[in-house]
Structure 1
């Protein structure tokens, strides 16, 4: 397996489970930093390497009027400051090739959203930066088909790649996670990530917004740890009911430590 370097961390077989967590979208500097600080306290307590995540732009909203975030320029400024304040790597989504160069100046991980994982130019340009590229498997793709996506990134000479599972479309407004996909994608030679929060999303399930079933996030995370993962991706908020994006599938901040404790216990058994 290729070992991926994220800041001072190494991710992959034989290395500690990485946590990628934070709010779905940047809701201002102070609030986002507060969540990052609280998550980092928990991660440090449990000995988990931590990457702060938040989107500067949510470009694939259900409705034109949905909150998208501060945008590229302001969002990257906020992420750069949070990166400095917390002393941890940061990750955010990119949506167009025109964003790649500026995003790579700040982000330690360039994330390809699931809907865009087949966008050849986006994957290639992201990989050309040499930054770590986290590619989310499309809800419409089989895990073995991710080998074609990987080849696009490899063509750019980059092997700093991670693959993320976030569920597959199962009829209308429903996702189901095939845990085999984690093992299958890992066999492609790169670290795998479980996105336990988007896996319980109900796309467009509330009409003009997506719904979710956050009560199942712990089950998804524990099951993924039992299969074997290299990183866990969680969207976390202090008050999901008031979150500006994806509240129904987010982990409550005060529930995070218990969830991570369970996941790490399972991870230890599997690695042992």
Structure 2
């Protein structure tokens, strides 16, 4: 009989690539992870991992078992959801990982509404940029992730997560107040090819979206300032340090003293697509359905 707890260890190893990283994700010691893997190999009668320096690689048998581990985890999630539906009333805790702008625009309003609708439900929010929210979800440290569609955000997910579009929004050009195009009704990206640029750090989906949009406009932006904080980006633009492309909702609530000139783009431009994710099998859990429904309701205001 295979111990499902050891399958979780194998799955973490497949996700993280090293015993140390898997141990960190599972809150175990590296030696405990190694012992669990050895025991699992004994249970199955197969060699499941091959060591290559500091990393480990799953064997063919290990890869097959890791896929079954994902299916077992999903079935356990469904069992917990079914049990939760048997309970009367809505009470419990939900941990939600989301990036900063979505917290401000969607998550916080949803939390406020749920405090009135279901005061027995406690929501814990974790600020997580880039692919971190999805990683927290797959590691079991969050129940719901709100993340931006990006190649890195989905890399660890595979078929284990259920993704649902939440909202999408355009980017606006953000210019210094005295910029030559500050009074234009719209701005073409090609008109900004010679400018200095301010973007989020590499690895942030917005950084990648801006670079891709500029490449499609046949130029490489000259990035001179980097910040993942859009208030800081706007302050730098207002100070004349460069230009930027910023998702429209990220400009909400920027202090007037920091507000540069904001203009829509003329022609095609980048779009930020935001989704929610849950571990497959947990989507019918009543607490998660409650939170997801409220997130969609608040996100509708952005899409409108």
Shorter-chain TM-score category?
Answer: under 0.3
TM-score normalized with structure 1 length:
0.24
Structure with higher helix content: 2
TM-score normalized with structure 2 length:
0.22
Q: Which has the larger radius of gyration?
A: 2
